[in-house]
Amino acid sequence: IVPGQYVAADVATLDGKSAPTTLRGKTLAVSTSGGPKVNNASVVKADIGARNGVIHAIDTVLIPTM
């Protein structure tokens, strides 16, 4: 979970730069080369509206490191 609201157009500008920090204090790696990715997970559906923000569906479970 990342605080704030980031739509696909915002995420595209993060390619190769430091991404937002998660609520657990970890930084995500964002890439748009070969399709949008967060860490090693591919985004399969972007910009799903929710009451408390926006969701991007990915094809892998991200497991935080301790």
Give, for 59, the enclosing helix (H) or strand (E): none
Task: State how far the Cα of 43 lies from the Cα of 65, in Å rounded to an integer.
Answer: 21
Q: What are phi and psi of 11, to 5 degrees?
A: -65, -35
pLDDT of 48 reads: 96
Residues 47, 8: Cα–Cα separation, whole Å: 6
Kindly state the DSSP code that residue 23 receives in the 8-state scheme: T
DSSP 22: P
pLDDT 10s digit of each residue in the chain, 66 long? 888 888 888 877 877 676 778 888 888 888 888 888 888 899 999 999 999 889 999 999 988 776
